[in-house]
Amino acid sequence: MSDSTERSTAVDPYTLTADGIKEPPVGWRASARYFGPGLILSASIVGSGELIATTALGAQAGFVLLWLVIVSTLVKVAVQIELARWTIATGEPALTGYNRVPPRIGGIGWVNVLWAVLALSKLLQLGGIIGGTAVAFSVLLPFGGDPLAFTSLLIWTSIVAVGSIALLYSNSYTLIERGAAALVVVFTAVTVLIALGLPLTPFAYGIDDLGSGLTFLIPVGALGAALAMFGITGVGADEITFYTYWCVEKGYARWAGPNDGSEEWVRRANGWIRVMYKDAIVSWVIYTFGTLAFYLMGAAVLQPQGLVPQGNTLITTLSRMYTDTVGEWASVIFLLGAIAVLGSTMWAAIPSWSRMYTNLLATFGVLDWHDPVARLRWIRVFTVALPLLWGVLYLTIQSPVIMVQIAGVMTGIFLVAVVWAVYWLRRHETDPRLHGSRAFAICLAVSSAAIALLGLYSLADVTGII
């Protein structure tokens, strides 16, 4: 029996039973073996937002928006943790909870209606990801001579889409987690090392450059890119949402067990919530250093030369960060790294979005979410359909940067709805004994306020109010 079939039938992580209870570990060393959801999250994050949106913003604005990189990765973590806390307490994934947040529209929660709109815009972002990966492959090994010609891009887009389907069709959690961890380590480590080594090259940056990036200013003409970056970098609305699915499938909720009202359950649940805290912190460290590295490289290498990634020249422009720093020989290394970082986003995004679409259909009554056979069947349907759709959209539009940035703005807007849902679920469905410390409540309030203000600003900008 395959790992995925075994998980879907013998041990269903979405069904909480007394025989699934496991004592939580104590301390970092013991907890480390239970990390995993954060690695999948990092694989998704260290991809389109960092390689495309963050470097494009660095190339456009220079060092002045360095502060926004730090804020955009840090400010959303408390909301992510709070939603995952609710998931561990209830055993339910985010869209199930979103659907109960009033008011409801035609029997569907308004947050899920807005999520459906977000999902449509995200088709563009993931189209940009699959396109960027195809371009990297095409530049590395073109079909027909011209790597940016439609024929070569069509062939590589098809290979990337079909290959992703073949690798991920089983939807094995273990496979997804291990693949995500390997992909994250490869390119993030190389990029951070190069970014830290820039002061030794002609594209050196100094303390004054870094200081200018901490002035909390947004230069004229960079607002759109800044809003997109805030929506995409760090945990966006979609990552906050799908993190809950991986927390369940790792086993946090099942190991805590069903809420029987006892103090023993409270102790176990709080124990696994503390493991989740550590998992989220490790993830934050990974994607924050990756994001800072990409931004510094865009600001230090691309911006002084007037190079801004756009259209199908995205990959060749971004490769200048490496070739102009360490030599032409680095082009091949960059292309392999770009494939790894963009591929990591696809690796995490395909199974994550497949679960969220399936969960949405369950809220519509199309299937029973707690039927593991039906759930896996629908997840596999979306595992096949989504990469093919993303590929078609890329070949139609062929502008990865614009595709990613449009989705980024929509993500920033949807974050407001996520904040509202998190507070509603915390008040009405999370056992008060699991609410955490007063210090965390303050962090959650600050995080929520920042997200809400910037999300509303994004909405006002898009609608032309400001």
Q: What is the pLDDT of residue 210?
A: 82
* Placement of tokens 């990409």 in the chain: 294
Instruction: Tell me which of 27-31, 325-329, 370-374 is least confident.
Output: 325-329
Distance between CA atoms of 305 and 282, rounded to whole angstroms? Answer: 35
DSSP 8-state class, residue 202? T
Angle at 154 between CA 129 and CA 135, to 5 degrees: 45
414 confidence band (pLDDT: 50, 70, 90): confident
For the chain, give the mean pLDDT. Answer: 84
Distance between CA atoms of 313 and 135, rounded to whole angstroms? Answer: 9
Residue span of the structural domain in which 125 resides:
3-463
47 has a pLDDT exceeding 90: no
Task: Yes or no: say if 186 and 340 are a contact pair by the CB < 8 Å rule.
Answer: yes
- How many domains is the chain built from? 1
325 has a pLDDT exceeding 90: no
230 has a pLDDT exceeding 90: no
Q: What percent of the chain has pLDDT over 90?
A: 44
Question: Which among 305, 355, 240 has a CA at the least distance from the CA of 8?
Answer: 355
Distance between CA atoms of 292 and 337, rounded to whole angstroms? Answer: 17
Q: What is the pLDDT of residue 118?
A: 84
74 has a pLDDT exceeding 60: yes
Distance between CA atoms of 42 and 73, rounded to whole angstroms? Answer: 11
Task: Yes or no: say if 239 and 268 are a contact pair by the CB < 8 Å rule.
Answer: no
Task: Yes or no: say if 159 and 137 are a contact pair by the CB < 8 Å rule.
Answer: yes
Q: What is the mean pLDDT of residues 266-276?
A: 97
Half-sphere exposure of 395 (CA within 13 A, CB side): 19
Q: What is the pLDDT of residue 287?
A: 83
Instruction: Tell me which of 247-261, 311-325, 358-372 is least confident.
Output: 311-325
9 confidence band (pLDDT: 50, 70, 90): very low
Distance between CA atoms of 444 and 75, rounded to whole angstroms? Answer: 9
Distance between CA atoms of 213 and 296, rounded to whole angstroms? Answer: 10
6 has a pLDDT exceeding 60: no
Q: CATH code at 129?
A: 1.10.4160
> How many Cβ atoms are within 10 Å of 439's Cβ, its own excluded?
8
Q: pTM for the full model?
A: 0.86
Instruction: Tell me which of 76-90, 133-147, 219-233, 415-429 is least confident.
Output: 219-233
